[in-house]
Structure 1
């Protein structure tokens, strides 16, 4: 499934079902970001890889967000930012933050930016 254009090389970003740490997740990756296992069992980019854009759907798990959805990734690629809902440690409180693409990590949360009218986004 094509979600949009890569923010770095403008190739297609696709959703691929994958396994990370024994859990089934979606991997959102640029078609030019190819990885393989090397001799030491490290998962590295191939020699013909020309891009590094990759994001796993469980990227925000430490903030109690189970999955970064295909819809959220598609919106991020279209608008260059997306608002996500995160939860406190006990899962009782919720808060909203902007997410942008990041060359090194795939995506980053803008912790210092306050989200205005977040309730309207999720109504």
Structure 2
């Protein structure tokens, strides 16, 4: 499924189901971003990979956001930012932050920016 245009190379961003560490997750990736296992069993970009845009659906799990949805990725690609709902340790307290595309990590949270109360 095509979700939008890559913010870096303007190719299509697609959604794939993959298995990572024994769990089914979604990978939102640019069509020009290709990875494979090399001879040392490291997961690396291929020689014909011309883009590095990739977001794993569980990328924000450490802040207790279980998954990033296809809808959120579509909005991120269209608006270049989204508001994400995060939770403190042990699920105590929730807070909202802006997230933007990041060339190396796929997605980045703007910790210093406060979300305007339009929710």
What TM-score does the superposition give when structure 2 sets the normalisation length? 0.97
Please list every run of 5 or more consecutive structure 1 residues that lacks an aligned counterpart in the other structure.
none
| 1:105-120 equivalence runs, <5 A | 105-117=105-117, 120=119
| 1:38-117 equivalence runs, <5 A | 38-117=38-117
Residue by residue, what CA displacement relative to the aligned partner does 1:33-83 show, whole Å, maximum 9, x if unpaired?
Answer: 011111011111111111000010000000000001111011000000000
User: Could you tell me how far 1:92 is from its partner in structure 2?
Assistant: 2.6
Moved more, 16-25 or 57-66: 16-25
Please list every run of 5 or more consecutive structure 2 residues that lacks an aligned counterpart in the other structure.
none
Answering whether residue 25 of structure 2 is matched by residue 36 of structure 1, we say no
Q: RMSD of the TM alignment (CA)?
A: 0.8
- Give the 3-state SS of the residue equivalent to 1:90 in structure 2: helix
1: CA distance between counterparts of 2:22 and 2:88?
A: 25
